[in-house]
Homo-oligomer: A and B are copies of this chain.
Amino acid sequence: MFRKIDDLKELALQKGRKRLTIAVAEDNNILGAVMVAKNLGVIAPIFIGDKEIIKRISLEEDFIIGESEIVNEPDHEKACMLAAQIVSEGKADILMKGLIQTGTFLKSILHKEFNLLTGNLLSHFAIFESPYYHKLFALSDAAMNIAPTLDEKTSITKNAIEIMRFLGVEVPKVAIITAVETVNPKMLATVDAHELKLKAENGEFGSCFVDGPLALDNAISIEAAKHKGINSLVAGDADILIAPDIQSGNILYKSLNFLGNARCAAIIAGAKIPVVLTSRADSEESKFLSILLGVLCSR
């Protein structure tokens, strides 16, 4: 059972060593995070990027990186394509974004030739341990889908539920969050939230509880929910928060990390292989935890 974010370590160790390839790896934080995971014994890395810079950083930081672990490709776009090719050929189990814009990195995954897509929407999934909540909770989508339609939100919700089940939460409680807890036709997000709730009632998401629209406080505080007269199994006990769009998702993600003392692991869901995609400003620890989440979600 996955109760604390540190449980990722033990669970990843049980899973056994996976091969991880990193596109544009020449960054102290990224190399540091990957080395911690390598030393833990859960991954074998393939660093793709500017070999000279990678070697210089490893000298400075005392990282022991073998020649065979580095593939020299200083061009950022080419490094991304090469990493995608390596996983598509089955030579790596997990793909990780290095010091590169998300858009450039994702283009390589979307490349049809590599056949990395399942037909599902790709979505960003983050799991948080907050000192102010009684259990781990997930947030999606904080980084990929700009203004998801109802169909896209349906995919985002499905991806998130799938990962939560994978982490041992068999019947996740899903809160579709918006600014308010009532349906308001002037706020499309609240209408979509209600539709997602109906889809769940019709069995579209399998065994789970979905409620929405819920304001964030109603989703994670039973006192706040009671004060508003909300009676819901999800209220105050959500396992998954679905954000209305990338602005609110990203701002919540950053708020938890930078103004909430939370610890976090994140992954891209919906591809054939787990994709580790952390923000350049995320801490080394967050990058390490995300690699562990990738290990857990790999085959």
A133 at the interface (CB under 8 A from B): yes
Interface size classification for chain A: 35 or more
* Bound: A227/B230 CA distance, A: 42
Contacts A224-B281, A262-B259, A279-B217 given: A252-B250 contact, CB under 8 Å? no
A255 contacts B256, CB within 8 Å? yes
B228 contacts A281, CB within 8 Å? yes
* Bound: A254/B217 CA distance, A: 6
A51 at the interface (CB under 8 A from B): no
B251 contacts A132, CB within 8 Å? no
A130 contacts B259, CB within 8 Å? yes
A32 at the interface (CB under 8 A from B): no
A146 at the interface (CB under 8 A from B): yes
A248 at the interface (CB under 8 A from B): yes
* Nearest opposing residue in chain B for A179, CB measure: B250
Contacts A246-B187, A255-B216, A281-B228 given: A261-B146 contact, CB under 8 Å? no
B255 contacts A260, CB within 8 Å? yes
* Bound: A262/B248 CA distance, A: 19
Q: How far is the CB of A299 from chain B (nearest CB, A)?
A: 31
Interface string of A119-132 (1 = CB under 8 A from B): 00000000000111
Closest 4 CB pairs of A and B: A224-B281, A216-B254, A179-B250, A248-B248
